[in-house]
Amino acid sequence: MEWTGAVYADGPTVEVTTWIAAPPTRVWELASDIHAIAESSQELQRVEWTDGDGPRLGARFTGHNRHPALGEWSSVSEVVEYEPLSVFGWAVGDPDSPAARWRLSLRPEGTGTRLTQWMQLGPAPSGLSLAIAAMPDKEQKIVFVRLREFETGMAATLDHLKRRAEL
């Protein structure tokens, strides 16, 4: 990830992609499973469905997180994109003005599947907003460091899903 000088209000994004030697049906099983997503995360400790027991448009789940600099917190997310075998996306907090948006998308490619994870900060405040408020002169660096953390975590998640799918 290259330095962009982005600030929180820019709604900065990060994206990671991988190719998996497995059919889209197998990759979808894992990419739409919030528990499989959490298994490889250093930050997301555990998740549970708040509404029902599986993904669907409008379903909500609670994520319990831990970060050395931000402490522990829980947040409720709502599934805002759900197209089986194609996209699974959620908004953290209010879907109309989330603290973050996350998406896993997949498409057939050759003999396997291309899986991409994408996320966007804001526009609503988040825990990162507290750090920025405490050190407004360092906002660009704070945002950059956080996006790099997300990029590293997302790469680990995709690697985990790839290993599981290719079993």
CATH number assigned to the domain comprising residue 76: 3.30.530.20
100 domain-assigned: yes
SS3 assignment, position 49 = strand
pLDDT attached to residue 22? 98
| Secondary structure tally for the chain: helices H, strands E | 4, 7
Residue 52 has a pLDDT of 79
- Residue 13 three-state SS: strand
**What is the rounded distance in angstroms from the CA atom of residue 7 to the CA atom of residue 5?**
7
Task: Report helix, strand and coil shares of the chain as percent, to nearest 5.
Answer: 30, 35, 30
The residue segments making up the domain with residue 87 are 8-165
Whether 66 is in a domain gets the answer: yes
48 in a structural domain = yes
Give per-10-residue mean pLDDT for the chain (167 aa). 88 98 98 94 93 90 92 95 98 97 98 98 93 95 95 97 97
Let me know: does 11 contact 123? Beta carbons within 8 Å. yes
Report the pLDDT value the prediction gives residue 4, as an integer from 0 to 100: 82
Do 113 and 103 contact (CB within 8 A), yes or no?
Answer: no
Residue 2 counted as domain residue = no
The structure tokens 């959620």 sit at: 90
Question: Is 1 part of any domain?
Answer: no
Number of domains comprising the chain: 1
DSSP at 8: G
- What is residue 70's predicted lDDT score, i.e. its pLDDT? 83
Is the pTM higher than 0.85? The answer reads yes
- What's the pLDDT score for residue 29? 96
User: Residue 123, SS3?
Assistant: coil
**Whole-number Å distance between alpha carbons of 47 and 79:** 14
Domain contains 104? yes
3-state SS assignment for residue 12: coil
